[in-house]
Amino acid sequence: MEILLVEDDDSIAEPLMAGLRRDGFDVARVRTASQALAHETPEFVLLDLGLPDADGSDVCRELRSRGETPIIVITARADEIDRVVLLELGADDYLVKPFGFRELRARIRAVLRRTQPRSEVPPTTKIGDLEIDRRTRRVTKNDEELQLTPKEFDLLAYLASDPGAVFARQEILESVWDTHWYGPTKTLDVHIAALRKKLGDPAWIATVRGVGFRLHEPE
């Protein structure tokens, strides 16, 4: 996937480009609003608001009018009203400067999962003797149905969307709970503990220290 980075500040753009390329993304970088709007069919956009020839919010509005390209806005504006306006203009998410690359990576993954066509996630996932059916919202293990709460099912189904992959804590909270989750992260730990108990083996959901969790069949 190619990410279009719209950023005129070299000190910000260069480390972002290096990090994104390490993560396997192709990156095209432009410095102005006019260059951003002239770029042909970007697949994903990281958009700075402070551009030399126009406000990035105008670019956001125009890009959204053209299609459903995912857009994450990078902004120094921390006021709530500015963030609300950006979301209303069509941004999928925003990051307030300064921010860490790990957070950016998690936000990109979260947006991609939210904007991914539903058909790309199979209705049923089977991992060993565990089966998750998204259509009926049923989970069975050894052909015995597990009694999960609605949020426990949502969490398990999310982790099962890419078995073995590590999901960042904030990414899980934003995708399973709310796009802009500001509540306690302990909520996630409580639900993980409940799922481990119901799955019968805590090894089903591994903790990756400092990052998040992954679902895999115990060895």
Q: What is the pLDDT of residues 3-28, one digit of tens each?
A: 999 999 999 999 999 989 987 888 99
For residue 168, how many C-alpha atoms fall within 13 Å in the half-sphere facing its CB? 15
Mean pLDDT computed over 53-64: 91
Average pLDDT, stretch 121-150?
92
Fold of 122-215: Arc Repressor Mutant, subunit A (1.10.10)
Angle 120-125-126 from CA coordinates, rounded to 5°: 150
The helix/strand/coil state of 132 is strand
pLDDT band at 81 (very low <50, low <70, confident <90, very high): low
pTM of the model: 0.58
- pLDDT at residue 207 is higher than 90: yes
For the CA atoms of the chain, what is the radius of gyration?
19
What integer best gives the mean pLDDT of the chain? 87
What's the pLDDT score for residue 119?
45
Banded pLDDT at 201 (limits 50, 70, 90): very high
Dihedral (Cα; 198, 202, 206, 207), 10-degree rounding: 100
Instruction: Please give the pLDDT value at position 123.
Output: 86
Pairing of strands 71-75, 93-96: parallel
Architecture (CATH level 2) of domain 2-115: 3-Layer(aba) Sandwich (3.40)
pLDDT band at 71 (very low <50, low <70, confident <90, very high): very high
Domain-by-domain residue ranges, the chain?
2-115, 122-215
pLDDT at 118: 47
Mean pLDDT of 145-160: 93
Q: Specify the pLDDT at position 191.
A: 94
Average pLDDT over residues 154-179: 85
pLDDT at 37 (0 to 100): 95
> CA 197: distance to chain centroid?
27
pLDDT of residue 182: 53
Whether the pLDDT of residue 183 is over 50: the answer is: yes
Q: Does pLDDT of 145 surpass 50?
A: yes
The answer on pLDDT for 139 being more than 50 is: yes
Write the single-letter amino acid at 106: A
pLDDT at 67: 87
